[in-house]
Structure 1
């Protein structure tokens, strides 16, 4: 009996799927069809404990909703019966709230149950009641007409929201140029993924990308443009919704209205964006059922024909019904794969920040960006951080090996960027062989052999000297073999023009937002050093700072505190601790120290490239005392944009001079900010990328 029931369920599911794909699709595009069928029978994911749901057996209404009289967002929930689902939805909203001010409008579409009487007692809820049944579209349009918010968020009553549900959607409109619609990642109650954005094929068939997959899979956790998002959780600007005259009533009572709205939004030059950080649980089928031949659900077939007729001129440019899913979702955008040693984390090091910002720029310039760490590891935080800027992360346990991935995606790639010589060297031959048409870009980050050579000279270490020579041979070999080499410093660019005159070497330096000086001189106090122990020059610098520089400074001015920020292991913390020294470790946000300290320090005695700690401080208008090594390659001028000292006594003198001289402090602050704007801002990096990569795509 159980087996029979299982087979019956599978047969129904297969029948349902085949309603979504045409016979011609089976004949012309078997691979794409089989891909979608296979998704139906994947192992079910387990529900995440972070998505705890409200019980449908709880018949209580929330006593009040955390709404606003001056809402930025109007949440519109159309309902027709199903009071238990509506109450659970409202309780989830009451539980999680939002940072942005919002209002909740429930449009009661002539419900026959106790919906109106029960919801009338919920404080803060705006309850509208249609005099007759208008259907989903009529109710949504009625709610929009009454809304006071600058944004509308249409939400099904058979949903439950999770932390950040509303604010993450709003972020899309702040972060993404021309965002017209933002939609949530929809999850089934059993924990499977329901939708990660929608695809429309040329025959007007739709498909929910990722259906029945694991919602944790990194493939579904990055922002991207999509054909449509489900009206179960859809945000749009009120002015744009009104300009487009709302949901098109030709689709009354429901189905295809959200897809039609998305196509209308795209037709006026705005974008439809899938936002995975906004997670909404959706009990699909509760409102309209699942039978394509009965009830409201039958309009899915009827309205598909209406949609196909209205948008015939656009559908001819959509992927064919037999297209592979992975190709259908990305379109014709140029594709770049980036491989680095580790998945970048902006709070870990300046190299991570530079890589993240380069990926932001590449995506802004029209690229599809895919990232893989050499060890294929990535934390949830790192996946989310890259997903927020529209970058797909390839990582365990979801992605295949680099070789397998290249075999599948080689025809989509225009470029592969290999970062750091010890990552580029072992992967170069594989990439060249597997994706011969892709340009290979070698990002040095800094010239490792220069840094190692300077460390060897500083320490007198003969083993390090041999290592530096070995690194030099590997790096120079890669520079000659790759299509483009990126360096961060004009000094390194000049060095390579002599060492490898035939190589294509481009300058793409650090990239920083210009935060500006946000606090005056007088209230600031203390000095700060930023740098983790994962980078040998930082280890030497902080040892010299705490043992050679700070003791005489503290003796002269004990009120000046030293703040150390960065990954510092426990044994080192014990060694570095002392009077006036505060060790904070790694922090997610440097802003408090950049805004509240009076001076940033960069006492590096060896190294290469451009120093992110110097750039970062200057981007906040925080003056820097640095060594010559720490300030090289940055077009800085001593006394105008930085103070330079190369011995302990000179360093102490420079700190004391700057700490008490407000006029000098302001001059250096202004000079540092001007330096960042001219050489290290997004505008400067954008232009550098255009010049550096002229043949890899539409830059």
Structure 2
């Protein structure tokens, strides 16, 4: 096979590989480069490049070698240079240790130039390379270069390079890696968020498009394991932040002062391997945690500087006994090397600090329908120090950045059709969770069916049913408004059936005292867990406000919010126009169906749709209207509006759920005429407006504090207290 045909064959194979893998962006760069090479007819690469076998099983590492060597050759035969900035005070020092593999070093340096925005310096220690590395180093501007006369090994080279660096942060980076966007910036944000974090590691992706590791664990015998190796790059178990035993030094970011405090790598581990395990263990024992952050994505060739992967493994084995002898007390607290222990060993938490939370979908606050409360519960659990797994019952797959947009990054989210069913998941994780929280009646029914067939599947796990609402109450009222007469016996039967589903639960969480009583009558331990919302401290004056506001999500035309909007548009707004002589300014916000938005616009309403931050919307509104005629649970949007200082006009159905009073915390209206009258009063009577606002703010502070949520969860869940339980300051993305 000739050189041109060989190049074409490899180009086609690389294009196919990368188009089908998570490394598509890298594939596009390679494809663009190959096109340029072919167009310029630059087929003068060194002969060694052409000896890569083109038949047999496809080897992605060899394909990368091939493409990288072509790029390096083109660079070195040109007059180009790689020019780096030279900041007076670099924030981060990127430490690279080289021994040959100039083509991979070139790729790494290009990725640094393309993706690092923070002021940085590159410090290179070359261990006496014999390939084109020296030629490459001659083409670098503003790089600190230390050229060793002989190969002193990785450990000593890192220590010497760090000594020559000036950055506040130190990044140990292998020369066979490629950074992606914001990798370093994200790691620095992690370190700045919590002084208890000692080091940050990355999600490492191998050339074949699978995970190298998502953090690593240390077993009691001193052996180690990269978590999730060989799994899909977006495997759900690898997509959440967590504290780990150590992270690979292929990408390991830390504070320079911490590297110095622990005297860097122990040179007894020269030339390489186990040095990062040893340093991480010393940090761990001093209270500086290692954190794996999946948002940091790094492509890693792996074993590039070893003659073979076998040689690298032999070095690891040789240094293991030294590590064990130095860390016997620490290792005695680690789990034994067993496949059965992998799940438990991935974090330092014990069973009582692990909670499985089951919901219909990822509980984003803007979804309404009880999801804001679930969102709050997840946040509260994390604040208390619990390790939370969120199991999503629907098969919808959200983009991971979207999934975590308002949830803590250290929550494991099990989502999408490729994930196991609930019964399979519970089978896989038997004895793993101390508590299970499950929300909504239909989900509890599914769990009951599983327990009927497998009664021991949750042995040792406390089952908590979260009664986000008693839906029978809402359904009975909906039927009444639809003209369906429901007899007392039918009502009792419907209510009995819903309450009966909690039979397998150990504890019930209710949203109000009234609903709690209904569950207590079933003989259950019940605690009230309502909602929490802090009041806004700076609230615009009444003179700066105008118009009415409705906030609510509409996912179903039969939902309470959908019916409320119909009543609002067709009866309440015309009643206001009749009384005042002009149509009111009406703003509607919230995630809703397209047909609902079109309907509201056709009735002269301004429709905002989903709004990321409603603060400005609340601050511009004169009054908040809640014309809900049937509902269950607690009206979260009323609490939110009141917390932002907007007086509320609501139906008696919602007022009863809150336990508030007419002309005290809000105004009550049950007919279009009453709504119109209340709206006009709040428009014309400033004293009334201020009085309602202040009483509602007091009620929110009194009834919906975050401390009440935390205390209830502490009563219900085993394990820890708020004082000692804050495991990680990792918040929403």
In the superposition, the TM-score normalised over structure 1's length comes to 0.81
Contact 2:123 2:165 in 1 (8 A): no
* Structure 1 residue 617, shift from structure 2 partner: 3.4
Residue number among 76, 88, 91 corresponding to 2:110 in the alignment = 91
Q: 1:94 to 1:414 in 2, by over 3 A?
A: same
* Structure 1 residue 687, shift from structure 2 partner: 1.1
- The residue number in structure 2 matching 1:507 is 528
Unaligned runs of 5+ in 2: 1-16, 31-67, 722-733
Matched, 1:543 2:566: yes
Q: 1:368 to 1:305 in 2, by over 3 A?
A: same
Matched, 1:577 2:596: no
Question: Within 2, Cα distance between the matches of 1:641 and 1:201?
Answer: 59
1:248-647, aligned counterparts within 5 Å? 248-293=266-311, 298-324=314-340, 325-330=342-347, 332-334=350-352, 335-349=354-368, 351-381=370-400, 384=404, 388-431=408-451, 433=455, 434-462=457-485, 469-497=492-520, 499-500=521-522, 502-512=523-533, 516-517=537-538, 526-534=547-555, 536-551=559-574, 561-578=585-602, 580-594=604-618, 597=621, 599-634=623-658, 636=660, 642-647=666-671
1:163-202, aligned counterparts within 5 Å? 163-173=181-191, 178-202=196-220
Contact 1:424 1:442 in 2 (8 A): yes
SS at 2:630 equivalent: coil
* Structure 1 residue 662, shift from structure 2 partner: 7.4
* Structure 1 residue 284, shift from structure 2 partner: 0.7
Question: Within 2, Cα distance between the matches of 1:213 and 1:653?
Answer: 62
Q: Which range moved further: 392-401 or 475-484?
A: 392-401
Contact 2:242 2:410 in 1 (8 A): yes
Question: Within 2, Cα distance between the matches of 1:238 and 1:641?
Answer: 55
CA deviations 1:56-107 (Å, max 9, x no partner) are 2333578656897666554444444433323322332333345xx3424232
Question: Within 2, Cα distance between the matches of 1:138 and 1:87?
Answer: 23
SS at 2:515 equivalent: helix
Q: Which range moved further: 683-692 or 475-484?
A: 475-484
Question: Within 2, Cα distance between the matches of 1:227 and 1:586?
Answer: 41
Q: Which range moved further: 277-286 or 50-59?
A: 50-59
* Structure 1 residue 186, shift from structure 2 partner: 0.6
Contact 2:590 2:609 in 1 (8 A): yes
Q: 1:439 to 1:110 in 2, by over 3 A?
A: closer
Q: Which range moved further: 562-571 or 141-150?
A: 141-150
Matched, 1:105 2:127: no
Q: 1:284 to 1:447 in 2, by over 3 A?
A: same
* Structure 1 residue 344, shift from structure 2 partner: 2.7
Contact 1:198 1:207 in 2 (8 A): yes
* Structure 1 residue 185, shift from structure 2 partner: 0.8
Question: Within 1, Cα distance between the matches of 2:344 and 2:632?
Answer: 41
Q: Which range moved further: 370-379 or 638-647?
A: 638-647
Unaligned runs of 5+ in 1: 1-42
* Structure 1 residue 256, shift from structure 2 partner: 1.7
Q: 1:603 to 1:202 in 2, by over 3 A?
A: same
* Structure 1 residue 120, shift from structure 2 partner: 7.2
* Structure 1 residue 206, shift from structure 2 partner: 0.9
Contact 1:203 1:320 in 2 (8 A): yes
- The residue number in structure 2 matching 1:52 is 26
CA deviations 1:299-351 (Å, max 9, x no partner) are 42332222111111111121112342234324533233332233433332252
Q: 1:639 to 1:144 in 2, by over 3 A?
A: farther
Q: Which range moved further: 337-346 or 539-548?
A: 337-346
Aligned length: 648
* Structure 1 residue 664, shift from structure 2 partner: 6.8
In the superposition, the TM-score normalised over structure 2's length comes to 0.77
SS at 1:246 equivalent: coil
Q: 1:174 to 1:456 in 2, by over 3 A?
A: farther
SS at 1:574 equivalent: helix
Q: 1:68 to 1:526 in 2, by over 3 A?
A: farther
Contact 1:421 1:474 in 2 (8 A): no
Q: Which range moved further: 463-472 or 277-286?
A: 463-472
Q: 1:89 to 1:557 in 2, by over 3 A?
A: farther
SS at 1:357 equivalent: helix
Question: Within 1, Cα distance between the matches of 2:373 and 2:661?
Answer: 23
Measured on the aligned residues, the alpha-carbon RMSD in Å equals 3.8
Q: 1:491 to 1:253 in 2, by over 3 A?
A: same
Q: 1:126 to 1:413 in 2, by over 3 A?
A: same
* Structure 1 residue 276, shift from structure 2 partner: 1.4
1:219-230, aligned counterparts within 5 Å? 219-230=237-248
* Structure 1 residue 387, shift from structure 2 partner: 8.0
Structure with the greater alpha carbon radius of gyration: 2
Question: Within 1, Cα distance between the matches of 2:685 and 2:258?
Answer: 53
- The residue number in structure 2 matching 1:236 is 254
SS at 1:472 equivalent: helix
* Structure 1 residue 531, shift from structure 2 partner: 1.3
Question: Within 2, Cα distance between the matches of 1:272 and 1:384?
Answer: 21
Q: 1:513 to 1:318 in 2, by over 3 A?
A: farther
Q: 1:261 to 1:629 in 2, by over 3 A?
A: farther
Contact 1:610 1:632 in 2 (8 A): no
CA deviations 1:429-469 (Å, max 9, x no partner) are 42361224322211111111122223233443337999865
SS at 1:255 equivalent: coil
Contact 1:187 1:281 in 2 (8 A): yes
SS at 1:400 equivalent: coil
Q: 1:196 to 1:67 in 2, by over 3 A?
A: farther
- The residue number in structure 2 matching 1:12 is none
Question: Within 1, Cα distance between the matches of 2:446 and 2:511?
Answer: 22
Q: 1:190 to 1:523 in 2, by over 3 A?
A: farther
SS at 2:365 equivalent: coil
Q: 1:161 to 1:599 in 2, by over 3 A?
A: farther
